[in-house]
Amino acid sequence: MINKNIDLNLAIIGLGYVGLPLTLEFAKKRKVIGFDINSKRIEELNLGIDKNLEFKKHELQLSKYLKFTSNEKDLKSANCYVVTVPTPVDDFKKPDLKPLISANEMLGKIIKQNDLIIYESTFFPGCVEEECVPILEKRSGLKYNHNFFCGYSPERINPGDKHHTISNIKKITSGSTPEIANLVDELYNEIVTVGTHKAISIKVAEAAKVIENTQRDLNIALINELSILFNKMNIDTQAVLAAAATKWNFLPFKPGLVGGHCIGVDPYYLTYKAESIGYHPKIILAGRELNDNMGNYVALELIKKMKTKSIQIKGAKILIMGLTFKENCPDIRNSGVKQVINKLKEFGCDLDLQDPYVNKENIKKIYDIHPSSTLNQNIYDAVLIAVSHDEYKKKGLVYFKNLCKKNHVFFDLKNLFNSNEVDLKL
């Protein structure tokens, strides 16, 4: 068995928001193979292009220890595989483990005696040993914890965040035996300067990860519900939160759309596991239901306000600014803005979409709306700021007001401006 982390030959499986930063960080210390099944992604990375806009050309081509590939044969030289594939949900909000299963099927054909497989993807407690290990054993003919070993160290990447990076975010680590747990911990301590937390088992590490985003989801759901309530009472939610935040232990969550690949997904993995063992989690699902419907709420509030200003709804010219699931990133998958757009389409509104980070072809493909390259003044019945990109913050109130007709609705969903300067806020 491998007993020193310097003996590990690394291969990172999946080069998205999680895998690529991890690959580049390890490549500062040791040889690393970065693998992705998307050959176009590999071609771009080898040319120094990151479509996620997280890394620049010089960062991608900095290390002599780095190799990007989509060829499975290149993985055979590794003995430690770190799996960072996506774990989404399907249309019925059930875990979609197809990417994870495919990765394990591939690794099962490759792994050798004493190899180590570490998972970073987020899933339900027990997934490594109940779902992944049986595939690896069947495909490889090897026996778990005798011929190969597993670890789990959940990702804590925050896309678009240049301050909280891999090296300065504390990492949870775990292993399938005490010796492997130590080995995994030593490996990650090579790149994490703020230290690690070694969990007592893989299941504990899996559970810790999935509740991080579940807790955040519930806290946002509470604030979203309070926002809906205060709106009905004609109370400024932001003023309430500012007042409450003067207490030292008040948690500073804000209302808004909840999307992305973590907060809007991970609670469903936990509820799936809970229901599989006969427990129906009421609070978690209630929070998910409320957050899942915030897009409809936002659209209906905008329509309601337009009606109070006698603005014709059908054919109304509305500009949506910001389409991504969070600020300063180009990813529109799982964005909460999509529900807002679909609801406004139902009312027959004429929508313009704009986002400086998103590929225009992707916008056209998803929404069947040509995005606006240039924005003309005095043409919009309503403007909705849906994502707080830094570029929007810099423009100032006058810029947005000038886009609108004299009689208009300005919905500042992200609270960039004071309540007395806009028509609607959450």
As annotated, the active-site residues are 262
Determine how many CB atoms are found less than 10 A away from the CB of residue 242.
Answer: 11
Q: What is the DSSP string of 167-227?
A: GGS-EEE-BSSHHHHHHHHHHHHTT-TT-EEE-SSHHHHHHHHHHHHHHHHHHHHHHHHHH
User: How many of the other CB atoms lie within 10 Å of CB of 90?
Assistant: 11
User: Could you identify the residue written with the tokens 């010219």?
Assistant: 317
Strand order, beta sheet including 115-119:
66-69, 32-35, 10-13, 80-83, 115-119, 148-152
Which are the contacts of 85, defined by CB distance < 8 A and separation ≥ 6?
13, 14, 99, 100, 102, 103, 121
Instruction: Please say whether the beta carbons of 379 and 347 come within 8 A.
Output: no
What is the C-alpha separation between 160 and 155, in angstroms, rounded? 15
Locate 138 and state its tokens: 């069947």
List the one residue out of 93, 105, 94, 86 whose CA is nearest residue 16: 86
CA–CA distance, 325 with 331 (Å, rounded to integer): 7
SS3 (DSSP) at 68 = strand
Q: Report the C-alpha gap between 381 and 397 in whole angstroms.
A: 16
C-alpha–C-alpha distance, residues 423 and 426, integer Å: 11
How many angstroms separate the Cα of 101 from the Cα of each of 121, 156, 425? 12, 22, 43
Using DSSP, state whether 279 is helix, strand or coil. Answer: coil
Q: Please give the Cα distance from 151 to 188 (Å, whole number).
A: 11
**Cβ neighbour number for residue 382 with a 10 Å cutoff:** 27
Q: Which amino acid is at 359?
A: N
Residue 345: half-sphere exposure toward Cβ, Cα within 13 Å: 12
